[in-house]
Amino acid sequence: MGGPARPEPGRRRPAHRHRLHDHRRSVVVTDRAQLAETFRRFADQQCAGLSPLYATLSHAVARSNDLLDLAARTRPGQPAPNLLLGGIHHILRRGVQHPLAPYFTGHEHLDADHADSLLADFCRRHRARIERIISTRSVQTNEPGRCAVLLPAFAALQQQLDERSIRIVDVGASAGLNLLWNRYTYDYGGQRLTLPDSDPATVLACDIRGGTPPLSIDAARFVRPVGIELHPVDVTDTEATEWLVSLTWPEQTARMRTLNAALALASRTPPTILAGPAEEHLADVVAETPIDQHLVFVFSWSIYQIFGSPGGRDRLAATLADLSQQRPIHEISIGHFGHDTPRMIMASYDAGISRSDVVAHCDVYGNWLDWLTDPAHPGI
């Protein structure tokens, strides 16, 4: 799956780098300690309540220098815990027999003592295969559930903008499943929302934890959607989509079902995706989108990979402000942006002048939304 994203001139490389990768014999102890901390944080903050298995395995990795050195084979800027555990899941899903396998069905409890020895044994037996996966693949998790968070942002924009049609450009689109937002059925805390092209079998449930998100939307006004993706995932290729399924967590069976349903929809009507680095495509899209269409760039959990972290959103904002010398641009971005709680930012750029608001707090997978009706936090 290709090499790391090329840095643009003047763009800083992501700060989070795994130097262990470069020279195994010059392992830097502080890097190993940092990586151990990354796995512990992943276990305690991201897996808590969602994946007891991944929490237990992540703590096991954090305790083992050997497993940390293996995890350090991930490419700079890639989240090592997601890749290592996704790689193991991927191998097990291919039918490899090992005592670790039953725990990946999502039903068996794995205790910490057992985890250390099982994980070490699995990684010893399959080390070369794991290394190949984590050093070449990237976290491309494509989560259609995030459309339940994006839809109110689209509705809000539609309310604010004049009657011209709206073009959504999903940057870091993976398989492009979020471009199919008008094909899903939504359930906002029991309130069902269908659009003219909604598939009744693909239901995205989202709990409204606060505020009143706008949900009234005219999908027909959204035209010529397109994705931009460094490594587009071909939705008609089951080998390629299998990697996306492997990136879901074993206990998240409902998420896996939704993903499979969305992939089935997408394979019948594949979304349009421009292959290549966003850095190369953004200016072209700005130039070729007619002025009688509003242009909206969506960055759903992709800024940290495209523009690095920390500070990636600032670099994106500077890029879009620059491009807005040619025409007005809108941005909808979702991510952590240095905060514990994920958030959605809506921004507008015109002639180099920008304005941005945090409009919502939300779940990583779109399971809940807190709409900040009166955004108190301009910018981030």
Ligand X SMILES: C[S@@+](CC[C@H](N)C(=O)[O-])C[C@H]1O[C@@H](n2cnc3c(N)ncnc32)[C@H](O)[C@@H]1O
Contacting residues toward ligand X, per CB under 6 A? 5, 138-143, 146, 172-174, 178, 228-231, 277-279, 300-302, 305-306
Which residue(s) pair with 171 in the sheet? 228
Q: Least Å distance between CB 237 and ligand X?
A: 15
Q: Least Å distance between CB 227 and ligand X?
A: 8
Query: Which of residues 6 and 224 has its CB atom nearest to ligand X in the complex?
Result: 6
Q: Least Å distance between CB 94 and ligand X?
A: 22
DSSP character string of 92-109: HHTT---TTGGGGGT-S-
**Spatial separation of the C-alpha atoms in residues 178 and 143, rounded to whole Å:** 7
Query: Which of residues 116 and 143 has its CB atom nearest to ligand X in the complex?
Result: 143
Query: Which of residues 53 and 147 has its CB atom nearest to ligand X in the complex?
Result: 147
Give SS3 for 54: helix
Query: Which of residues 91 and 173 has its CB atom nearest to ligand X in the complex?
Result: 173
Residues 6+ apart with CB under 8 A from 304: 14, 77, 312, 335, 336
Nearest to 52 by CA among 121, 103, 91, 118: 103
Residue with tokens 């790391």: 4
Nearest to 259 by CA among 274, 272, 243: 243
Of all residues in the shown chain, the one whose CB is closest to ligand X is 172
**Spatial separation of the C-alpha atoms in residues 123 and 96, rounded to whole Å:** 12
Q: Least Å distance between CB 182 and ligand X?
A: 16
Q: Are 206 and 366 in contact (CB under 8 A)?
A: yes
Query: Which of residues 139 and 320 has its CB atom nearest to ligand X in the complex?
Result: 139
**Spatial separation of the C-alpha atoms in residues 12 and 96, rounded to whole Å:** 40
Q: Least Å distance between CB 2 and ligand X?
A: 9
Distance of CA 241 to the CA centre of its chain: 15
Query: Which of residues 279 and 363 has its CB atom nearest to ligand X in the complex?
Result: 279
Report CA-CA distances (Å) from 286 to 6, 222, 296, 359: 21, 17, 10, 24
CA atoms within 13 A on the CB side of 48: 6
Q: Which tokens hold the place of 276?
A: 């290549």
Query: Which of residues 3 and 190 has its CB atom nearest to ligand X in the complex?
Result: 3
Q: Least Å distance between CB 6 and ligand X?
A: 8
Q: Least Å distance between CB 364 and ligand X?
A: 9
* Helices 238-246 & 253-268 angle (0-180, nearest 10): 160
Query: Which of residues 76 and 379 has its CB atom nearest to ligand X in the complex?
Result: 76
